[in-house]
Structure 1
Amino acid sequence: MQLVRQCFGERIISRYGNVNSLNWPSRSPDLTSPDFFLWGYLTERVYVNKPKTLEQLKENINREIREVAPETLAAVMKHVMERARLCEAENSHHLKDAIFHK
């Protein structure tokens, strides 16, 4: 924690930081499209040919980002809004009955 505090100061979200994770909205990662869709989607696509160099990895990332269809991004944003509404309806509590699809 000492190293983390040196790097991030008072911006730590942790049981041991000033911003206590217990006060952080539950399911908040599900409210951002990169957390529930983009990273997993890109990881699957970027590593499919097992890049051997950093340059190959960068090329794969750039190519796959360019190939994400605008319709896909629109659908992702629609789902983000649905998740936000569910979270708001639950007063920011856990969404225990919600099933999220990619």
Structure 2
Amino acid sequence: MLQNFFIPELQQLNLSDSTFFQQDGAPCHYALNVRQLLNAIFPDKWIGRRGPIAWPPRSPDLSPLEYFLWGYVKTVVYSSKPQSLDELRARITNATHEITQQQLENVFNELENRIERCITKDGGLKHHHHLL
């Protein structure tokens, strides 16, 4: 996904030089070839396990995917048990398509609040439970 989609999109938009890339500590993200690619495309500008900028493992504080999307989709998708893989796929697709503009505005207002709290704490995560 990084090589075939994300990085070409960033380059097409002329954003690769100004972008910081953040990832979690999942084993597939930690592979040497992935870290080498990130070092080449985002030198000194990627956040992750063994990256140039450390990020605490399993820290959802500044990731809207973690503090909003996954929980929201899971709640909608599993409101009742899907009866097939096709139904599961359809529910996931529908859940993401049904996210409203207002929900997105709330998510990004919350992100701004979380960033401001991190700045206030000088980047420290000592009290990160307040961010959750």
Structure 1 length-normalised TM: 0.70
Is the 1:30–1:83 contact (alpha carbons within 8 Å) kept by the matching residues of 2? yes
1:42 lines up with 2:82 in the alignment: no
Identify the residue that residue 5 of structure 1 maps to in structure 2.
Answer: 31
Q: How many residues align?
A: 94
> What is the CA-CA distance between 1:30 and the residue it aligns to?
1.2
Matched position secondary structure for 1:44: helix
1:93 lines up with 2:119 in the alignment: no
1:31 lines up with 2:57 in the alignment: no
Identify the residue that residue 102 of structure 2 maps to in structure 1.
Answer: 71
CA offsets 1:10-34 (integer angstroms, 9 cap, x no match): 45943xxx427xx524586311211
1:56 to 87, 97, 122: 87
- Superposition RMSD on alpha carbons, in Å? 2.9
Runs of 4+ off more than 4 Å: 25-28
Identify the residue that residue 51 of structure 2 maps to in structure 1.
Answer: 19
Matched position secondary structure for 2:80: coil
> What is the CA-CA distance between 1:50 and the residue it aligns to?
1.4
C-alpha distance in structure 1 between counterparts of 2:128 and 2:89, whole Å: 39
> What is the CA-CA distance between 1:75 and the residue it aligns to?
0.7
Identify the residue that residue 5 of structure 2 maps to in structure 1.
Answer: none
Which segment is superposed worse, 63-72 or 80-89? Answer: 63-72
CA offsets 1:15-67 (integer angstroms, 9 cap, x no match): xxx427xx524586311211111111111111222123221111001111122
The sequence identity of aligned pairs, in percent, is 24
Structure 2: gaps spanning 5 or more residues: 1-26, 39-46
Matched position secondary structure for 2:31: helix
Is the 1:87–1:95 contact (alpha carbons within 8 Å) kept by the matching residues of 2? no
Structure 2 length-normalised TM: 0.57
Structure 1: gaps spanning 5 or more residues: none
